[in-house]
Structure 1
């Protein structure tokens, strides 16, 4: 499966490991989990680990867009951890679809990404 979810900090932080290419079915697991955590905690912080991530199929990209619109104000911070130049560009692309503060971290700086997410 290209998407694995792990709750941390009592569910206030959701770590999403994405690998390969995401498909529409991946969002059938992801969206309900975010919905549940938002109901429990209000807002969330997300860590997207994009190690070995190759993008989305078109149907999955649409699901990602719908997710962004639905959860526009539900996420405080998003740390995107990647290893490729195009992944860094995703931060600029993501900003109009969320109220969250979004930052990119190189894979070598993953510890810094977690510190940033944990900061008040």
Structure 2
């Protein structure tokens, strides 16, 4: 019997109202993964008046979402969408590029897909 690993690793840095959120997504994300991570993100952003959030997502080990987890992801984007300035999606699968384009519908800022981590970080931090 093989056990598959899935979930998020998260890093949050804050300087005044600027928030840098780093996520590594692995495997197939579940509703339970979002029940764990959403309160962490909500709490970090609630402590800041008018947060300006830059997000780096490492999706190189991401296989996708369960349907309910995809809904959770959409709700998270709708809740904080006007706080996101930039989202850099670093990945290696074509569907991730499409996901980055769809994300633009739900956030006020910009999102882009990159196959090169250094280029993603450079774009995000400029």
Q: Report if TM-score (shorter chain) is over 0.5.
A: yes
Deviations 1:66-88 (A, max 9, x none): 11111120111100000011111
More helix by share: 1
**CA positional deviation for 1:9:** 5.7
Give structure 1 stretches of 5+ with no counterpart: none
User: Number of residues paired by the alignment?
Assistant: 117
The Cα offsets for residues 23-66 of structure 1, whole Å up to 9 and x where unpaired, read as: 00111222112212222341211111001211100110111111
* Higher CA-based Rg: 2
Dislocated runs of 4+, deviation >4 Å? none
Matches of 1:28 and 1:34 in 2, distance apart?
11
CA RMSD between the two structures: 1.6
Residues 1-120 of structure 1 correspond to what in structure 2 (within 5 A)? 1-8=6-13, 10=15, 12-41=19-48, 42-106=51-115, 109-119=116-126
TM-score, normalization: structure 2?
0.84
Q: Give CA-to-partner distance per residue, 1:86-119, whole Å, 9 cap, x none.
A: 111111211111112101110xx10121122211
Structure 2 gaps, min length 5: 1-5
- 3-state SS in 1 of match to 2:105: helix
So what's the TM-score if we normalise by structure 1?
A: 0.88
Q: Which has the higher strand share?
A: 2
